[in-house]
Structure 1
Amino acid sequence: MTLPPPRLDDLTWADMTAAVRRRIPAESDGLWTLHAPVDPGVTLLELFAYLLEQRLYWLDQVPDALVVALLRLLGLEPPRPARPAATVLRLTARQDGVPVPVVPAGTPLTRDPAGHTVFTLDDDVAVFPLADGADVTVWTDRDRTADLAARRGVPLLAADGAPAAVRFTLPLSGAHPAPGPLSLLFELDRTAGPAAAWLPGAVDDVPPPAELAWSWFRPGTALHGPFARVEDGTAGLRRSGIVRLHPPADWTTRDCGVLLSTPAATHTAPPRLLQLAVNASAARHLRWLTASGADLRDQTAAWLKLPGQELLLPDAAGQLVEARVRIGGEEWRPAPDLAFGGPADRVFVLDRDRGAVVFGDGLTGRIPRPGRDVSVAYAVGGGRGGNGGMTANWVPAEEAPAALTAANVVRAEGGTDPETVAEARRRAAASLGEVTRAVTADDHVALALTTPGVAVARAHAALGEHPGFPCAHVPGAVTVHVVPAAPRDDPDREDFVAAPVPDPGTLCAVAARLEAARLLTAEVFVRAPRYRDVELRADLSGAPADRARVSALLTGALRRHLDPLVGGDDGEGWPFGGPLRPSALLRAAQRALGDLADVHAVAVGLDGAVPDESCRDVPLRPGELPVLRAVHTRIVPAVEPGEGLA
């Protein structure tokens, strides 16, 4: 039950004056006899009641500054500023076949003629010349170029723990040396993975799922070698990101082959590649400007040694996102608010609506001294206006190091407007219910499911289970079994993983999160689920017209019913340790077949054993999940009603 919020402003002027008049005879010992409004004493009482009513009204109001201060005291974020949208731009040089100098980070590009929507590159980009009409080729066990062009998802590095490799041939032209690193966008299927590296909320400190090695080769020759340095924004193909490959000194664009290999492919499922783009860089909906000297002299000349100093920045009203301020050669730092600033703290806050930098009042934040040189580097942009689809009409917003065009090869997303104080209060109220300590079994599950940077679909906390003492109940020990997310769109795909197992990086990330949240005397272990191989035999009565179709429908339905991620009666995965009941399996099979055939019985076999026809439940231990390996169908004579009765 939710408690109603207290209301302090619950007395009116009439209530207070009536209460005071009732007390006059007793408090005055009967000497005060005239209680009408014409009495000067009553007039004073009415005045005091009026003033008290105003004070009560003020007391019941919570100013925004107090809300922000309380959020900071609780360790929560104050109202979040506007967030810029992010995308990935693929750059192309207009001089065909000629490499261009490195395009530096911070170069602005726009997608509209008026230049209202400007995105700025996050990294330096070496724009390599590309062959006309050529595509990136992909070779795994066979040529997958057509699948990549159609965005069907090319499975890379089969997730079986064995060595694996994949070859890419980039459409580079000529024989030019490398002006900089190769910047390659690897867009992976995100249906069951963490956020892309360029989006807000991306986590960079998660161990990779597998150890990857990157090397180059020259197609058609035996020339090959390692890259001098690799910056892997995909975190080991865990998420979409940009890989920056630094070629050695003797490399040329003829060496356009890239070999990606691993000694042990320990991914949960083969990463599905949707797109590989060359000359790519992340870009954000920002544009950096500078104001100094004459731009601000009129304002700074009017400053006094008094509170309320501010700087209105040119072309920043309604768009201000970030700012860096230097006054008299000293750096001033931005702050979310001035409530916690001291008299000597060089801090300022941003007023996005007015496009202003606001300084303190001498008590909460230092007052800037007039007459000093002031320079401000500030960014404009941000907000939902930067979100949008994919276009190919990007051009430099100002003078660029070369004649460039660009296209954003992924959607621009993640841009948000500034958060209001009311929205921050609602967010703070919701965050108070978040689990931060691992006390109960449900706490362990909640923390495992919300581990940043990895995709955990299910978790089960087995209390008293200790890996070192498998046959005993150990007080204080908790083993958390985690099932990672894996694609479930098509069970007939070659890269479908029936029994998802967490990669080593996921186990380490979940273990680190639980280690920081566990009780002092608790031992917490993180393990993969234990899968038990299941073999079923279904007896069908009658004579189905299409036995192959019936068998396929039956196998698909039972496999989905026992699936660790989408199985069970509720479709949220087979319950950990849930027994295999032949009667429940029979119902699921009959529901899938409908009128095609009648299911007479279902027998269950575990771990290669012959299916048991006794119709008894087959138990599983806590932390165990079934994985269906085979379904055998058998046609038995139909049983007529009343048959076998004496």
Structure 2
Amino acid sequence: MTLPMPNLDDRRFQDLVDEAKYLVQRNCPEWTDHNVSDPGVTLIETFAQMVDQLLYRLNRVPDLHYLRFLDLIGVRLFPPAAARADVTFWLSAARDVPVVVAAGKQVASVRNEVEDPVVFTVERTLNIVPCSLAHLATATAEAGVPPVDRTDELLVGGGPAAFAETPAPGDAVLFGLSDAVPGCAVLLRIDCEVEGQGVDPHDPPWLWEAWDGTGWAACEVDRDSTGAFNRAGDIVVHVPDGHTMSVLARQRAGWLRCRLVEAKQHQPFYQRSPRLHAVEASTIGGTAAAVHAEIIRNEVVGTSDGTPGQRFPLGRPPVVVGEGELVVEVSGPDGWQPWTEVRSFADSGPDDRHVVLDRVGGQVEFGPAVRQPEGGLRHYGAVPAKSAAIRVPEYRSGGGRRGNVAREVLEVQRDPVPFVSSVVNRRPAIGGVDGESVRDAAVRGPLLLRTRDRAVIAEDYEQLAREAAPEAARVRCIPAHGADGRETGAIRVLVVPAVPDTGELAFATLMLEPGMRGRIERHLGERRCVGALVSVEPPFYQGVTVVARLRARRRTTAGTLGARATQALYDYFNPISGGPDGDGWPFGRPVQSGEVFAVLQRLPGVELVEDVRLFAANPITRERGEQVDRLDLPPNALAFSFGHQVRVREAGA
């Protein structure tokens, strides 16, 4: 990105001429003829013209010079961050042997005429393990009562009840699989009849879980065609990664369970228990984590010449932000020796195997040797032996906002896997952030000089948190308050992750990933003042629901205007890109119904905003509060769009 032309020296031709004539009058008073016809004035104007050209070139400092200047004060551009998504591989049919999706396999979006596909790489090998139903058990909500094995009753066609005759929250039916299936999609084919009376077949009060060795972890239900155990059909459950074998009801199996939970408001509950007449289980797919980056392994970047301060370029810059530091290996008599990445060589000794990585430029740098006043050399970091090979075992190249694709976009197998018929990302990819621009780095440089890599005031914490997690969309530091409203002396660092800009945000995508939270906590912990208590957490997201009624202009259809108005509301009450200025809803700013009128009235095709009603909403419980004209937010809160409803009356209706 080209920076605006700076004025390092704002003098122009006439300024230079006037300044020279002033110096002539002061230093050479006998020179009295200052007219343009004087030969001396002609020389002054000639040199002024030459200097004016030099100043013009000086003021057009290229971006590369800015990068070098920033490097002198220890400022380097933030690298891009790679988006991540869970990708599900669906088998063409259930298999009797495991299907392996190797790490490094690539999936992509569909190529179109405008842009290249977005490519994701599988991070870890996925084993799609076959399974079958080995055992069936039931458990009641009564404390201390162990599960009861119902396998024999199922096999003889007895139709065991899934829950107690009068179902209650806590009742559960347990399915014992022949093997643990971590990360797999399990198909349960169930034969049952309309006996589970009272329940809504599309919204049953249940929770599917899998045993992970320490407790029950929630599973995701992909689809349910049984109507909550009320007709013959299939249930597909995505099992979490930690699933393991365990013993329940005196039977060892990979256990899944369907547990009844308290019904939500206006949600019907079971009045009678459904009965299961037959159950079959099989594995039909698996889910693996994928990253929007190319994973490069064992790249040899050069050979050492035995001198300090060597630099070696990587083949595929930039290097995206990862979970840990980069490791560089140097060959030696005992094999490959690991060298670790550090931020700078300031604390490195002569024997420390340290490297510094320029992630944007893609360059590995070894420690320099600095001449001391007495004439000796001080080595900051060890020097690789002469003729030693330098390689990087693994790094990731790519990243950027383009990887924040919507759900069901990654559907192309670039590296086909046998017996896999299709692939899809069931949720949007999140976490992709473009690398820092030179303009932003030029602004950050003076701030870094002021903070001196220490966290003292709120702006210091915000700046250092962004440094630790460039993929964060917003960071805000506020004081912590106790129950009595007084400041406790602790510091709260509120972090909003970057999420796909796809209109309606999914609430779950705004939660902090443990990896990002850990990096920020470690980074701030090393730089905070002694005794300062720092908490890194997400903001409080206040759900906002708008119910509006509009009248459309002539030649404007109700459907088009309704969709446009709904999108405008989701855009305005967006914690990342909404608000009056379009850079995210301001922390603690109240929401008023009057501004909703303004947002809707300025839309093309709106004749009149007839009515606007504002409600507070809970994005977790999906409950809506009472109508209000003003919704006050605490200092740690952001507005979050939830369930807007817009009705449009066409002109003349």
The alignment's TM-score, normalised by the length of structure 2, stands at: 0.40
Q: Which has the larger radius of gyration?
A: 1
With normalisation by structure 1, the TM-score equals 0.41
As a proportion of its length, which structure holds more strand?
Answer: 2
